[in-house]
Amino acid sequence: MRKPSRELISQQEAIEAVKAVYGELENRPVERDCIRRTECCQFKLTGKTPYLTAGEALVTAAALQQSGVNKLPAKEDGSCPLLKPETGRCIAYEDRPFSCRTHFCVAAGGPYSRKEVQDLIWRLEDLDTRLGGVGAQTLPAALKEALPKVTMRKGGPTAQIHSKAAPRARGR
């Protein structure tokens, strides 16, 4: 049985670690070809909403702020709040969450098998624990919580979290 690290991590270290996980996923030998049809981004139609860990939410929130978005837009149509209304494209595509990269979209190659990415999921969960997160949350809830924690500074985003929450152990 794996034991997650209990050592706290800075938010900037978490952002870098999440991006490293995304980079490792890109190098996996699984055939993927997202053609950005955004059918999977229609949560109301698919019945599936991505879940994000605290670290993933920080990465996505930083990408949103870099594009000038400081508040998650409300979407009455049930689509992903990261889709630009004018273009229908993802505002944070390059920094999109793990579940958006490994999802069920048949056009992109279908879902990754959990065994193909379990090690990466564990790393994201461990980062969540080290950030004092509460476990994966729906994309809207995770981003609503993360957006106020990220501030843009010269040279890139810096997450400022004032919570002193102690990390907790989770079973796998």
Inform me whether the pLDDT recorded for 165 exceeds 60. no
Q: Looking at residue 5, what is its pLDDT?
A: 62
Looking at residues 30-37, what average pLDDT do you find?
69
In a domain, 159, yes or no: no
66 in any annotated domain: yes
Q: Is residue 104 part of a domain?
A: yes
Q: Stretch 61-76: mean pLDDT, rounded?
A: 89
DSSP 51: E
pLDDT of residue 92: 92
State the average pLDDT over residues 24-43.
Answer: 78
In a domain, 156, yes or no: no
Quote the number of domains for the chain: 1
Whether residue 6 is predicted with pLDDT greater than 70 in this model: the reply is no
Query: Does 6 map to a domain?
Result: no
Identify whether 153 is part of a domain: no
Residues 6+ positions from 34 with CB-CB distance below 8 Å: 105, 107, 108
- For residue 32, is it within any domain? yes
Pick the closest to residue 142 from 41, 40, 75, 55 (CA basis).
Answer: 55
Instruction: Confirm whether 157 is domain-assigned.
Output: no
- Rounded to whole angstroms, the Cα distance separating 15 from 128 reads 11
Please tell me the predicted confidence (pLDDT) of residue 143.
Answer: 94
Domain coverage including residue 91: 11-147
